[in-house]
Chain A
């Protein structure tokens, strides 16, 4: 089933067409990787889907609902989650509090007013186990190492439990072992979630990707499995020089 349908998406920043007529679909439970040189419009595409940036044209449908004009929190409630390139956790909150914020099945005021800050976190104990942070749940997130911060953000995304998760360079700054663990987690996530991943690390892409889209100058350059992409001439030209 087509979970996310992106059709003829456009956005301009002061004359620069950052995304220019992009069209693609994502199936439920799929891991789609976006590749492309710097400035190809990968991160912008994620921004457009999650609502950080408003498109100048085109449509984005989530399970058939048009979401391209919605505010970001509405999209989040419909099931779009996002991990940013720069790890963005709440540095002044503890690990457990970060997770509690991420558990957002009931994002309304009344629900928030009627429960304690960490009421929800007990359910999330398993998630912390999974990313190996359970011993640090009362530590301020700002005191974590870079790798731990990445893990925390991934844990938060798991806790958020979005249908579609957008990941911007999830393995940046990770060691090889950590990257492997991440790949493992992604695989297990894809059972119940759809993932769109922007990534440069080809070995990681090779491990996780069901399908790959290569972008260049805001448009789709190639689409297919990892083998198809690696043998594509256009892709080689785009990466190796114009």
Chain B
């Protein structure tokens, strides 16, 4: 994909190296002011290890932008997506975020799957008072006034799930996750729930990121015989885990895996047969029945191919663009700043594919938790749906700390 005129930049070096030296040295060569458009940054990795997931987020967000533009834009102004590829590397995220927020003057940037990349972007976002729209479920415990959190925090993933698990499957939990902050934090929260419910943790295992041989873990599961396998393994590690679990012929009927991270993307790579019978907890599944979702799934498939899937993060990447649009519509077109957008977004309600969602004053999102069981066709059957929208409590596991509209408040 060729985004800008190459000749305007590097190409000129060969012919007139002296003259074009400034444009090579500085990156300011590209013209920003393209009429009346609203510049929006898209910062999803298209290359590297997390490109597997982030490319789908990129697709979903880009689709939303183009849908909005096709429908006439916002106040007659088009959204102009500026795409960067941070290559799954935190330092590159920081660098590209600077470009988008400082040089390209985007009023908002959509991006990131991993926590580490979000945290790499935070310094520049907060310093430049920009707005970063982060669609992914995460560990909570963050209360930036410059980040819009579209994914679930631990209480939204577990408050419905854990009591249901203890009641229906038993109290003995085996925890397996990758070795970083998200799994540890989810497990911390789960342990606090379990202590109220009288459950116990028989083992807590962490494997390095990208770990791909789970024979030791499986041997341990086999000897512990837990009631519930509580999994927070991400990405290709999860694919390897699920496949090896299946190859070891552990029966989901007896020892099902409950994952907080496994979505349609991973299941597609795992294969329906190996994934079937296990569970995930998320606010959205592709198979969820709602008119908004049918429209979303159909648009996505017709755009990117019939074999493509939507999932709980790409849904958020999609609806966040619409939240952004709705906030813009409330504003005076002459006065669009990231902070004005943020203030306009608080309290905003929107019919998303998962149901009607609401942006809390702590900038997290009220969501509809669901529990789905994977079928051999690669789709989840939604077994349980929360009866009410669940409010985000990013500091739920920390007594005396609340994330509010004024930022973090410590009691």
**Chains A and B in contact, CB within 8 Å:** no
Q: Which residues of A contact B (CB under 8 A)?
A: none
Q: Which residues of B contact A (CB under 8 A)?
A: none
